[in-house]
């Protein structure tokens, strides 16, 4: 009889243990499922051009565009050479409306002017001496040039 009581006690203990472990497993499993359901999928944040230092010229607010928020280069034709800058007719690729505009390109001590093929270059204002009206150029801005008609430039590449 004492063995029977021990056996019944062991069975009851095992049953209680199974119930406790089952309850703990269920609670953990439901908590994991709840956390998965509550996971928030991050939304792609819209980057606005003004957040990246873009200008406002040529911006069309009621129109969707594929134009990136930051633009650093464009092309143009030289119209006029000045003391520390040049005026070029830009192709409009740095404006949301795509309109060609007159650009004032400011030279700095770091500006580099490349001859075609980039084998010969001139640093700073020295490059202005080798430019002429009517030349086609690639323009690399020192800043975000989207929506801007006046900006400092890093490089000017002469196009053949």
**Residue 6 domain flag:** no
Q: Is 85 exposed, middle or buried (0-12, 13-18, 19+ CB in 10 A)?
A: buried
For the stretch 84-121, pLDDT in tens is: 999 999 999 999 888 999 999 999 999 999 999 889 99
Instruction: Count how many domains the chain has.
Output: 1
Q: What residues contact residue 136 under an 8 Å CB cut-off, 6+ apart?
A: 75, 76, 77, 158, 159
Q: Of all residues in the chain, what percent carry a pLDDT higher than 70? A: 92
Q: Considering the domain boundaries, does residue 71 fall inside one?
A: yes
> Is position 106 within any domain?
yes
Is 109 contained in some domain? Answer: yes
Q: Are 83 and 126 in contact (CB under 8 A)?
A: no
How buried is residue 130: exposed, middle or buried, by Cβ count under 10 Å (0-12/13-18/19+)? Answer: middle
Q: Is residue 4 part of a domain?
A: no
In a domain, 146, yes or no: yes
In a domain, 81, yes or no: yes
Is residue 90 in some structural domain?
Answer: yes
Does residue 118 contact residue 137 with C-beta atoms inside 8 Å?
no
- What is the tens place of the pLDDT at every residue in 8-28? 888 888 888 889 888 888 888
How far apart are alpha carbons 101 and 60 in whole angstroms? 15
Cα–Cα distance measured from residue 89 to residue 75, given in angstroms and rounded to the nearest whole number: 9
HSE (CB half, 13 Å, CA atoms) of 108? 11
CATH assignment at residue 155: 2.40.50.320
Asked if residues 91 and 73 have their Cβ atoms less than 8 Å apart, the reply is no
Under the banding of pLDDT at 50, 70 and 90, the label for residue 83 is: very high
pLDDT of residue 62: 64
Structural domain harbouring 100? 49-159
Tokens of 9: 């006690």
In this prediction the pTM is 0.68
- Share of the chain residues as helix, strand and coil, in percent rounded to the nearest 5: 30, 25, 40
């Amino acid at each position: 009889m004492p063995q029977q009581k021990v056996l019944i006690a062991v069975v009851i203990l095992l049953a209680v243990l199974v119930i406790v472990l089952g309850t703990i497993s269920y609670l953990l499993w439901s908590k994991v499922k709840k956390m998965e359901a509550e996971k928030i999928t991050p939304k792609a944040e819209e980057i606005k051009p003004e957040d990246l230092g873009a200008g406002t010229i040529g911006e069309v607010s009621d129109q969707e565009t594929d134009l990136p928020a930051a633009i650093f280069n464009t092309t143009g034709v030289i119209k006029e050479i000045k003391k520390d800058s040049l005026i070029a007719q830009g192709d409009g690729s740095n404006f949301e409306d795509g309109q060609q505009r007159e650009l004032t390109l400011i030279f700095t001590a770091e500006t580099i002017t490349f001859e075609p093929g980039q084998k010969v270059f001139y640093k700073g204002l020295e490059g202005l001496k080798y430019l002429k009206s009517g030349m086609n150029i690639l323009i690399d801005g020192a800043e975000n040039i989207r929506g801007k008609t006046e900006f400092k430039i890093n490089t000017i590449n002469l196009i053949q």
